[in-house]
């Protein structure tokens, strides 16, 4: 059974559907890359998995988020609190703003242990030191009493990972964890995440718009565009032979795939604004293969191998 | 450098400030129109008597010389003699420090006691009737002058309900506190209006902050997030706001002490101004200015204690 199974998830702001038809699957120890341009709905999808959408602005209108077979969508706030931090940890893009500037790092790690497990001050402190050691912070016993501003960017991201793992969750949602970091530090943080996956059997959802990061770290991939999953499946298949024209276009835009002197290729046009999505396939106005049928909405269907694609032209050859 | 190192270095920086204060308070008093000697001796005084008194108080010398005398005396803790009370200024002030001190400290404590719960309620129940009611209270608090508020409190709590004394200051600790309630409340109502508004705004910003979201992602309940993360962060700007208002607080004590007949420094100052009691005006001004500097120093200490990022 998969650890996480998201089915038909839809998120709306008022009457506008921002994200819909989200299907995702994740098993123990798997790293799923959630890829897409800014505004494609990656972040609000992650927040929805944690039921952390800003109250009164965004809400889940449809679908299910099954964690170990239990649907989180109908859960009460109180029940949801026992999921957050305990079963699912979350780290964020900007460790500067997501750590409390006036609370000691050790206390920020220890507080969820104290709340969820009722641990004593001393035990929570021990756990905090242990976690800081696990995420590779030197002199963890001395560093637990430091404040976030006394850490470098990379160390802050490590500290945030320690905070998220404090109550030993099985699933870690990492929302662009390396975007705000230097390239050298990015690699270190990714290596740390993979290392934690190996040691703890952690499943990770890695949100990113960097296909290089995906190539290095993920096992499977879900490509989002304008609030929908365009294609998903094993990383290898998607990167080698994308079934969806959007995935293909995205891969072509990677620096390095074009000749050195040539201008970087770009997808013509702009992504649509939320709430004014085009009819049918949302990518069709920018798609080189667009045809009349693309005005009808394509379903996410098997497209050869283990992959699924939402494109009228991606269907596998019919069995004879 | 250690974050609290300014505790040692700040006094050195304060030396020029204190000089400035002494110069200002000296010349401020000298620029008040009216002749204290004639006031002392009355209108029928002879020119010889006037000259003799002038010489006795050193008022016949040039202003810079008078200022130097003033400084020299200050170093010996000598602030001159009161013309009205016929006694040295320092002990005169000393016996009036307590009511003013209690008024300022009590007002600040009471302000926090009013503002923190109100701002929390308004921020957490944003847009509800409670929020609007609190906004109404703060608007009213900003609008009513302190002396009017004081008189209204006297009428309600002292005259009608008989809960608190109308005026004056007690003999022992308990009666003193009893006498201080209404004066402190008068100042606190006005001050808490500003503080509540500011605190509510920073709480709303902190509730929507990334680190509050991160705390919720740890599965902490909203009350925990508020107490441990939102409140400490939103109190930092409040400390600054109180520091800015220290001057206003001390100035306000003058009015409130007059309304409540509190035998404090503010009341002493008002009486001294009306009677052209130069030395007393000068002394009280000096003490008020030094108190302002000192309270700002305390506010800096609190800021450093509350915000580990701050270095002074």
- Summarised one tens digit per residue, pLDDT across range B98-115 is 999 999 999 999 999 999
pLDDT tens digits for range A70-116: 999 999 999 999 999 999 999 998 999 999 999 999 999 999 999 99
Q: Does B232 lie at the interface with A, CB-CB under 8 angstroms?
A: yes
Distance CA A206, CA A142 (A): 31
Residue A318, in any domain of the structure: no
Range of the domain at A17: 4-96+171-258+265-309
Under 8 Å between Cβ of A228 and A55: no
Under 8 Å between Cβ of A144 and A105: yes
Please calculate the CA angle A300-A306-A311 and round it to the nearest 5 degrees: 30
Residues 6+ apart with CB under 8 A from B46: none
Q: Please name the helix (run of DSSP H) or strand (run of DSSP E) that holds residue B183, with its range, or none.
A: helix B173-207
* pLDDT above 80: residue B289: yes
User: If you count residue pairs, one on A and one on B, with CB atoms under 8 Å apart, how many are there?
Assistant: 82
Q: Does B221 lie at the interface with A, CB-CB under 8 angstroms?
A: yes
A 70-89 residues with CB below 8 A of B?
80-86, 89
CATH code of A51's domain: 3.40.50.300
Residue A132, in any domain of the structure: no
Point out which residues pair with B81 in neighbouring strands: B88
Structure confidence at residue A303 as a pLDDT band (50, 70, 90):
confident
Top-confidence residue, A193 or B3: A193
Whether residue B228 and residue A111 make contact (CB cut-off 8 A), yes or no, is: yes
Distance CA B80, CA B89 (A): 6
Residue A152, in any domain of the structure: no
Closest Cα in chain A, distance from residue B275 (Å): 52
pLDDT tens digits for range B170-204: 778 888 888 899 999 999 999 999 999 999 999 99
Q: How many domains does chain A have?
A: 1
* pLDDT above 90: residue B6: no
Under 8 Å between Cβ of B221 and A111: no
Residue A75: burial class (beta carbons within 10 Å; 0-12, 13-18, 19+): middle
**Interface pTM (ipTM) of the complex?**
0.90
Long-range contacts of B167-173 (CB under 8 A, 24+ apart): B167/B260, B167/B261, B167/B262, B168/B260, B168/B261, B168/B262, B168/B263, B169/B99, B169/B262, B169/B263, B169/B264
Closest Cα in chain B, distance from residue A27 (Å): 21
Residue A143, in any domain of the structure: no
- The mean pLDDT value of chain A amounts to 89
Helices B231-244 and B97-124 cross at an angle (nearest 10°) of 140
Residue A301, in any domain of the structure: yes
pLDDT tens digits for range B72-99: 888 888 887 887 888 998 999 999 999 9
**Following DSSP, what letter does each residue of A42-88 receive, concatenated?**
HHHHHHHHTT-PPTTTEEEEEEEEEETTEESTT--HHHHHTTBTTTE
Q: What percent of chain B has pLDDT over 70?
A: 100
Instruction: Choose from A56, A101, A113 for mutation: most chain B CBs within 10 A.
Output: A101
Residue A199, in any domain of the structure: yes
Point out which residues pair with A204 in neighbouring strands: A31, A172
Closest Cα in chain A, distance from residue B218 (Å): 4
* pLDDT above 50: residue B266: yes
pLDDT at residue B1, as a whole number? 65
Residue A290, in any domain of the structure: yes
Q: Which domains does chain B have, with CATH numbers?
A: 6-90 (no CATH), 97-263 (1.10.3720.10)
Top-confidence residue, A39 or A165: A165
pLDDT at residue A1, as a whole number? 62
* pLDDT above 60: residue B21: yes
Whether residue A99 and residue B228 make contact (CB cut-off 8 A), yes or no, is: no
Structure confidence at residue A257 as a pLDDT band (50, 70, 90):
low
Residue A316, in any domain of the structure: no
Closest Cα in chain A, distance from residue B104 (Å): 28
The number of beta carbons lying within 10 Å of the beta carbon of residue B116 is 19
Distance CA B39, CA A237 (A): 101
């Amino acid at each position: 059974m998969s650890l996480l199974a998201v089915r038909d998830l839809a998120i709306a702001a008022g009457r506008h559907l921002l994200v819909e038809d989200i299907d995702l699957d994740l098993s123990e120890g798997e790293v799923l890359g959630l890829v897409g341009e800014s505004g494609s709905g990656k972040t609000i999808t992650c927040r929805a998995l944690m039921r952390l959408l800003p109250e009164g602005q965004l809400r889940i209108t449809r679908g299910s988020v099954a964690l170990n077979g239990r649907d989180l969508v109908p859960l009460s706030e109180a029940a949801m609190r026992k999921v957050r931090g305990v079963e699912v940890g979350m780290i964020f893009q900007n460790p500067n703003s997501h750590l409390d500037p006036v609370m000691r790092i050790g206390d920020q790690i220890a507080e969820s242990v104290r709340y969820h497990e009722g641990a004593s001050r001393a035990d929570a402190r021990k756990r905090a030191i242990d976690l800081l050691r696990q995420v590779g912070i030197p002199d963890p016993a001395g560093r637990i009493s430091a404040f976030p501003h006394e850490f470098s960017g990379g160390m802050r991201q490590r500290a945030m990972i320690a905070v998220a793992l404090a109550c030993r969750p099985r699933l870690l949602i990492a929302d662009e964890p390396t975007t705000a970091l230097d390239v050298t530090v990015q690699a270190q943080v990714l290596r740390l995440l993979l290392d934690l996956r190996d040691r703890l059997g952690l499943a990770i959802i890695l949100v990113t718009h960097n296909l290089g990061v995906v190539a290095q770290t993920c096992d499977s991939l879900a490509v989002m565009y304008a609030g929908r999953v365009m294609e998903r499946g094993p990383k290898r298949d998607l990167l080698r032979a994308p079934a969806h024209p959007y995935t293909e276009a995205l891969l072509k835009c990677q620096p390095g795939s074009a000749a050195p002197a040539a201008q970087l290729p770009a997808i013509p046009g702009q992504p649509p604004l939320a709430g004014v999505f085009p009819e049918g396939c949302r990518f069709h106005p920018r798609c080189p293969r667009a045809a009349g049928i693309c005005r009808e909405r394509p379903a996410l269907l098997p497209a050869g191998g283990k992959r699924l694609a939402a494109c009228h032209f991606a269907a596998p050859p019919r069995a004879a | 450098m250690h974050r609290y190192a300014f505790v040692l270095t700040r006094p050195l920086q304060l030396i020029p400030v204190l000089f400035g204060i002494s110069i200002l308070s000296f010349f401020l008093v000298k620029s008040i129109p009216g002749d204290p000697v004639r006031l002392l001796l009355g209108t029928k005084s002879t020119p010889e008597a006037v000259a003799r008194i002038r010489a006795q108080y050193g008022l016949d010398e040039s202003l810079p010389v008078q200022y130097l005398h003033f400084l020299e005396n200050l170093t010996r803790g000598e602030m001159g003699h009161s013309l009205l009370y016929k006694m040295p200024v320092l002990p005169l002030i000393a016996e009036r420090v307590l009511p003013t001190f209690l008024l300022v400290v009590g007002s600040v404590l009471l302000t926090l006691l009013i503002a923190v719960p109100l701002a929390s309620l308004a921020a957490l129940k944003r847009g509800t009737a409670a929020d609007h009611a609190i906004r109404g209270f703060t608007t009213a608090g900003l609008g009513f002058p302190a002396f009017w508020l004081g008189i209204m409190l006297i009428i309600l709590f002292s005259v009608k309900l008989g809960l608190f004394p109308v005026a004056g200051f007690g003999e022992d600790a308990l009666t003193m506190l009893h006498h201080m309630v209404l004066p402190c409340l008068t100042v606190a109502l006005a001050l808490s209006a500003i503080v509540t508004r500011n605190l509510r705004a920073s709480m709303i910003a902190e509730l929507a902050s990334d680190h509050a979201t991160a705390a919720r992602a740890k599965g902490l309940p909203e009350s925990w997030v508020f107490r441990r993360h939102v409140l400490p962060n939103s109190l930092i700007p409040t400390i600054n706001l109180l520091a800015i208002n220290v001057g206003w607080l001390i100035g306000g004590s003058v009015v409130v002490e007059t309304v409540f007949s509190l035998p404090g420094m503010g009341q002493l100052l008002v009486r001294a101004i009306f009677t052209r009691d130069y030395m007393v005006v000068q002394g009280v001004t000096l003490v008020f200015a030094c108190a302002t500097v000192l309270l700002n120093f305390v506010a800096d200490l609190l800021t450093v204690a509350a915000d580990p990022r701050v270095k002074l």
